[in-house]
Structure 1
Amino acid sequence: MEFKNISEQDSKHDHLEKMSTTKLLKAINQEDQTVATAVENILPAIEKMVDAIVLKMQSGGRLFYIGAGTSGRLGVLDASECPPTFGVAADKVIGIIAGGDHAIRHAVENAEDDGEQAFKDLQKFNISDKDVVIGIAASGRTPYVIGGLDACNTAGITTGGITCNPGSPLDVTAVHSMVAVVGPEFVTGSSRMKAGTAQKMILNMISTSVMIKLGHIKGNKMVDMQLSNDKLVDRGTRMIMESAQLDYDRAQELLKKYGSVRNVLNHIGIC
C-alpha cells in the first residue's frame, strides 16, 4: 500500500488567526465529530487486537505501549489508569515513552529518532513472547516505535500499531495494524488534535475491552477498582448497596473490612 502522509496535509481551514472565538470552536468541533467515524471504520482491526491481547494475558502475559511525544503520553496515561480502575497490578499494562518519564512533561530532543532504544527499554522489563507490544504514532513513521516493533517481530512478540496514516512504516510493521484515517488536522500537522483523540479512543477501547474479558467488571461495575479516595469508597459502597440490598452504613462497613467490592460480593455469595 502506498504511504499517504495524511496527518501532515494542509488543513481544510485557513486564516485561523482572523476567526472569531465562536468560529474557531465550531470549526474544531466539526472536525472532532469525524473522529468517531474514523475509529468505527476500523473496529474489526481493533477486535483482532483485543482478542490477541486477551489470549496472551490469560496466559500470564503483559501489555506494553511504546510511543513518543503525544502518542507516548497517551500510552502512559492509559496504562497508568488500569490499576486504579480495574485493580490489576501496575506491571500488567505498561506505558513506555521515548526519552523516559522526564518526557511525559518535557520534550526530549531527538528521543524519538533512535530506532534501537525502544527495544532496549522493553528489555528492562524482561519482555518475552508471552507479551504484546503496541506502538503508537500518529504519523506512523517514528523510528523509536518502528524499530521497537521490528525487533519485537523478530523476537516472536505479538505486535500492534495505532496510527492515522495508511501505508506508513508502522502500518506495514505492526502485525495488528489499526489505522484511523482522521484526515488533515485543524492546525496543519498538529496531531495532538484529531489524531490524538482517535488514539485515546482506541486505547480506551482496547484496555477496557481486555479488562472486561479478563473478568474485572461485573455487570457494568468496576468491582476491582482501588479504593484510593473518599469518592471511590462512596462509589464502592453504593455498588454494594445496590447489589446486596444493604443500607449505606452496613455496605461501607463491609467494604472497609474486606477491601474491595468484589471481596464483599464474594463474601455474601453474589459475585
Structure 2
Amino acid sequence: MTNQKTTEQRNSQSLALDEWNSLEIVSFMNKEDETIAVSIQKALPTIALAIDAIVAKWITGGRVFVIGAGTSGRLGVVDAVELGPTFSIEKERWTSILSGGYEAMWTSLEETEDDEQHILTALRSHSFSSNDVLIGVTASGSTPFVLSAIQYAKEINATTIGISNNEHSLLSSICDYGIEAVTGPEVIRGSTRLKAGTAQKMILNMLSTASMVRLGKVYSNEMVDMRLINSKLVKRAIDSLTNLTEITELEATKILEENDYDLKTALFRALTDSTKEDAFRYIAEAEGHIKKAVQLYFSKKIKN
C-alpha cells in the first residue's frame, strides 16, 4: 500500500524474525535503534521553536498538558511525574492525561484511544485555557483522542505541539509545532512501543529538560531547583554546592541547613557571601535564574 503509514509497514529486513536466535534478534533491534537519533535530528529546529513557545507561556503562568493513548500516553506520564522532584514545579504546571485514565497506566485499554469526548471533559475539568500548552503524542499522528484535544486547543487559541512518527501526519497539519520523527517500520510490524516510542520519549526529554534549563532550573549543568525530599537528593545537593563553589562538603551541609534545604538560596549565598534576604531579592529579580541573579548582585555591588 503506497499510502500506508511507515509505522504500519513491514520491515523488509526482519521477515525471518521468528527464525532468529536471541542474539540475532537483539543485534537487529540494536541496529534499528541506531537510526532513532538521526530521525529526531531533522526535527530539532521545530523542537527548539516548541521549547521557546513553552517558555513564553510558562513565564506568564501557563501550564503544559501532555496527552496520548497507550504507550504514547504512558511516556507522557513517565516524563511529567519526574519534573516535580527534579525541578520543583507544581504538579498542576506540567500535567499528563492518559487515554483511559489512571487504570490505563497499568492495564491495556487501547480501545479508549477513540474516545474523543473523554479528553475534552478532562481538559475542561483542568480549566484548560488559551494561556496553556497542549502536547499531543501519537505514533500514527491520527489518534482520535489526541486530534480531538488539539482541535479544541486550537479553537481556544492555546499553543499546540504534536509529536508523531509519520511524515506529513494529520497531527502535524493542525498543530502550531508539528514534530515528526520518522522512525520507519518496526522490527515487528506496527509495534510502535519500540522505535517510535523511544523517539517520543527522547523528544519529551528534550521539551521538558530544555524548557526547565531556559527557566533557570539549572546552573551550569547542575540541577539547582530540586526538592530535597530524601537522603540521595540531599547528597546530590551537597555535591552540587561543592562542584559549583569553593566550599567544602562540611560547609555545603551547613549552608544547606541554614537555608532550610533550599538549594538555590544556599548556592546564591555560597557564590556571593551574602545574606538570605539578598538571595531572596536577587533570585526573585532574576526570575529564578541563579547565574543572572549572581551577575545582578555583583553589578549592583560594583556600582555602589
TM over 0.5: yes
Partner of 1:122: 123
Partner of 1:267: 269
Partner of 2:89: 88
Partner of 1:103: 104
Partner of 2:10: 10
* 1:157-208 Cα distance to aligned partner (Å, 9 max, x none): 1111000012322122222100110100011110000000100010001111
1:36 aligns with 2:48: no
Equivalent positions of 1:176-255 (< 5 A) are: 176-255=177-256
CA contact (8 A) 1:62 1:130 kept: yes
Task: For 1:73 and 1:109, locate their aligned partners in 2 and report how far apart those are by CA, in whole Å.
Answer: 12
Task: For 2:218 and 2:4, locate their aligned partners in 1 and report how far apart those are by CA, in whole Å.
Answer: 40
Task: For 1:33 and 1:247, locate their aligned partners in 2 and report how far apart those are by CA, in whole Å.
Answer: 42
Alpha-carbon offset, residue 248 of structure 1:
1.5
Structure holding more helix per residue: 2
* 1:184-235 Cα distance to aligned partner (Å, 9 max, x none): 0011110000000100010001111111111111111100012122222111
2:90 corresponds to which letter in structure 1? A
1:141 corresponds to which letter in structure 2? S
| TM-score, length of structure 2 as denominator length | 0.85
Q: RMSD over aligned Cα, in angstroms?
A: 1.5
Alpha-carbon offset, residue 116 of structure 1:
2.2
2:39 corresponds to which letter in structure 1? A
Partner of 2:143: 142
CA contact (8 A) 2:153 2:159 kept: yes
CA contact (8 A) 1:4 1:167 kept: no
Change (3 A) 1:157 1:50: same
CA contact (8 A) 2:70 2:110 kept: no
CA contact (8 A) 2:67 2:96 kept: yes
CA contact (8 A) 1:216 1:222 kept: yes
CA contact (8 A) 1:117 1:148 kept: no
Which one has a bigger Cα radius of gyration? Answer: 2
Structure 2: gaps of 5 or more residues: 273-289, 291-304
Bigger shift: 112-121 or 166-175?
A: 166-175
Bigger shift: 223-232 or 19-28?
A: 223-232
Query: How many residues of Structure 1 are paired with residues of Structure 2 in the alignment?
Result: 270
Which gives a bigger RCO, structure 1 or 2 (Cα 8 Å, sep 6+)? Answer: 1
SS in 2 for 1:231: helix
Task: For 1:4 and 1:115, locate their aligned partners in 2 and report how far apart those are by CA, in whole Å.
Answer: 23
Task: For 2:188 and 2:207, locate their aligned partners in 1 and report how far apart those are by CA, in whole Å.
Answer: 28
CA contact (8 A) 2:247 2:270 kept: no
| TM-score, length of structure 1 as denominator length | 0.95
Bigger shift: 20-29 or 31-40?
A: 20-29
CA contact (8 A) 2:69 2:110 kept: no
Alpha-carbon offset, residue 47 of structure 1:
1.1
Alpha-carbon offset, residue 269 of structure 1:
4.3
Between the aligned residues of both structures, percent identity stands at 38
Alpha-carbon offset, residue 133 of structure 1:
0.1
Task: For 1:216 and 1:190, locate their aligned partners in 2 and report how far apart those are by CA, in whole Å.
Answer: 36
Alpha-carbon offset, residue 84 of structure 1:
1.2
Partner of 2:293: none
